[in-house]
Amino acid sequence: MATSAAASKPIDPSIILHPNDIAAVPGILGEIVTRGVTALSPTGDDAARLALLESARALVRALEKPRETMIRHCWADNTAFAALSMGIEAGVWAHLGSDDEPKSVAAIAAATNMEEAWLARLLKHVAAMGYIHETGHDEYRPTNFSKALTIPILGAGYRVFTGPGNTGGLSKCVSTLVSYSKKTGYTTPNSMSDGNLQFAFDTKYNMFEWLHANPPGGEQFNLHMGGYAHGRPRWMDDGFYPVQERLLDGFVPAEESAALLVDIGGSMGHDLDGFLKKFPEVKGRLVLQDTEAVIGQITALDSRIERTVHDFFKEQPVKGARAYYMHSILHDWPDDVCLSILANIKAAMGPGSRLLINENVIQDIGAQWEATALDVMMASLLSSRERTRVDWSRLLEEGAGFKINGVYTFANGVESLIECVLPEAE
């Protein structure tokens, strides 16, 4: 096939020396002024803050020259990630954040048993990237961000992506994705047993098995999922899913064993705990289901929440529940595996049951970057995916035989709840 002259024309190298989109800067500055007034007003909400944040990111992208963007990607961001991760492992951020007073590199090194010269180089880069404040020569004080790295659910993400041991952590799957994709002819990863993770680590394990085979990978990953969920909109929040209307109204448990909500693969019980705090007077059983390894990690959970060991590839033991709920479960698996999970739930549902799927629904236009980043991550780790509205319809309706009653999306589109019923139910 002949290539057009326009397509084969070399790119003028001089564009390297020009900002990426200088023409867009005046418009972006106008957005920042307008959105800043809203975001900083007493009545400003988080949506206004997020809009302002996106404008600020757009301004940086427009002002950067291509060379600067390349250096940030290839040199700055990844080395900052390594330095931040090292600081978590060595206890640097815990010591620096013990109060708001500036601390010398010598004092931090003494407290953490790090070599002073090496620590000085790392902290200088972390400060240059804006993650801690430089207050003098080899002297620093913390930021909210560096303090937050000491909170287990936030720091765990760095640890699971850089370790354990010399494995390279899950970051190795990202760095090998190009080679794996080239090997497979640049086609969509679709095998959980012969995907990019198996290529990266030369293993037969899937991601979950690999993490548990390399402790404390499994524990860190579960904490990381808590950090991922922390602060994100919850499906029971006001303005998200109409819980009273769609779930509670009309539910009159005929017997004590009737279940209101079954959280399948619910990890440490974050969602059920939040639901119970929001609706403390609800009737019916609240059932948390996950593997024995996960359930065994739970140290504190409301006594009304039943902890149950269950494999969702097997028959669902709770029959006829008002709702079966899954949060970020199906995105872990390719469609054929999802269908087997869904079949077990469908077989347990009754006429009044609902299936509530709390996942990303990627927008057709203007997709949110957290969702698109996670989509590529899921492909590299599990040969799975985040899904668009069309993808969900194909999986749930055409594949599994459900009827989608509605898709409820909140705020900036980072969380959605898909309500499904049996076709004959409504």
134: annotated active-site residue: no
- The whole-angstrom separation of Cα 354 and Cα 269 is 20
Which structure tokens are listed for 326? 């899954």
Distance of CA 426 to the CA centre of its chain: 33
Most distant CA atoms of the chain, gap in Å:
75
Using CB atoms within 10 A of its CB, is residue 296 exposed (0-12), middle (13-18) or buried (19+)?
exposed
Q: Which residue has the tokens 């803050």?
A: 49
359: annotated active-site residue: yes
- The whole-angstrom separation of Cα 387 and Cα 372 is 10
- The whole-angstrom separation of Cα 130 and Cα 218 is 31
327: annotated active-site residue: no
Residue 111 vs residues 70, 90, 97, 107, 119: alpha-carbon distances, Å: 36, 10, 13, 6, 12
Sheet holding 133-136, edge to edge: 103-104, 139-141, 133-136
Q: Are 299 and 327 in contact (CB under 8 A)?
A: no
Strands 415-421, 354-359: pairing is antiparallel
Q: Are 99 and 169 in contact (CB under 8 A)?
A: no
- The whole-angstrom separation of Cα 232 and Cα 296 is 25
Q: Which one of the listed residues 31, 219, 327, 386 is annotated catalytic? A: 386
Q: Which one of the listed residues 31, 219, 359, 415 is annotated catalytic? A: 359
- The whole-angstrom separation of Cα 386 and Cα 332 is 9
Q: Which one of the listed residues 331, 370, 415, 426 is annotated catalytic? A: 331
Q: Are 154 and 227 in contact (CB under 8 A)?
A: yes
Write the CB contacts of 329 (distance below 8 Å, at least 6 apart in sequence): 264, 265, 312, 341
* Active centre residues (catalytic): 331, 359, 386
